[in-house]
Chain A
Amino acid sequence: EVQLVESGGGLVQPGGSLRLSCTASGFTFSDYYMDWVRQTPGKGLEWVGRSTNKADSYTTDYAASVKGRFTISRGDSQNSVYLQMSSLKTEDTAVYYCARVYYDFWSGPRHMDVWGKGTTVTVSS
């Protein structure tokens, strides 16, 4: 069964840091790009960032709202992708999902076809 499981969420103070993990199973993790998406009641679903795969040099891309504060990395041997969050703000409070990006040989990265159940991050003093 194809599965993604996020972990690492919790309560953190403004200005603090937190590292989220997403562990994959049931597919060849190293072949895929991976995204992080967050959801808040007020702003809905927001794409946070992406890691490409080894073939594309593990390049990363981020939403403007988190660029310079969040870093995505991955460990293919652990079938995991990570989201390191620093300088956290109250507006970063959300459920964070990791998602697998479907890759089409001819047209490249496409939609997010598999999602984890999410982990909750609360930034509050």
Chain B
Amino acid sequence: ETVLTQPPGTLSLAPGERATLSCRASQSVSAGYLAWYQQKPGQAPRLLIYGASNRATGIPDRFSGSGSGTDFTLTISRLEPEDFAVYYCQQYFTSPWTFGQGTKVEIK
């Protein structure tokens, strides 16, 4: 099973700041079969990024994804108030499909 690690567990940032979230895989996630999801309290996860770097429909361009192999990054260029949430990475290269434990982006 591919284990995804998302350090740190919490990021404390102010609105307008840049957020850089990390996702590290225990084995290579080939061809960028990696997605990022945003989850707010009481809501379902929402797809942000797929294929490591492709924004999903309707996602603002302040969200970007990068990386390959075992190291992936989600960047939020300037945090808006609605961006404070939990972010999960997920690999869909090897079954079982696995998720990271999440990074909470909180208001500093």
A residues lining the B interface (CB < 8 Å):
35, 44-47, 61, 63-64, 97, 102, 107, 109-118
Whether A47 pairs with B44 at a CB distance below 8 angstroms is no
- Given B33, B35, B47, B101, which contacts A44 in the complex, CB threshold below 8 Å? B101
Query: Would A115 and B44 be within 8 Å (CB), given that A46-B99, A47-B96, A110-B50 are in contact?
Result: yes
B residues lining the A interface (CB < 8 Å):
31, 33, 35, 43-47, 50-51, 56, 88, 90, 92, 95-102
Chain B neighbourhood of A116, CB < 8 A? 44
Whether A47 pairs with B98 at a CB distance below 8 angstroms is yes
Chain B neighbourhood of A63, CB < 8 A? 96
Chain A neighbourhood of B99, CB < 8 A? 44-47
In the bound complex, CA of A61 to CA of B96 (Å): 9
Chain B neighbourhood of A115, CB < 8 A? 44-47
Whether A61 pairs with B50 at a CB distance below 8 angstroms is no
Least distance between B10 CB and chain A CB atoms (Å): 14
In the complex, residue of chain A having the shortest beta-carbon distance to the beta carbon of B99: A45
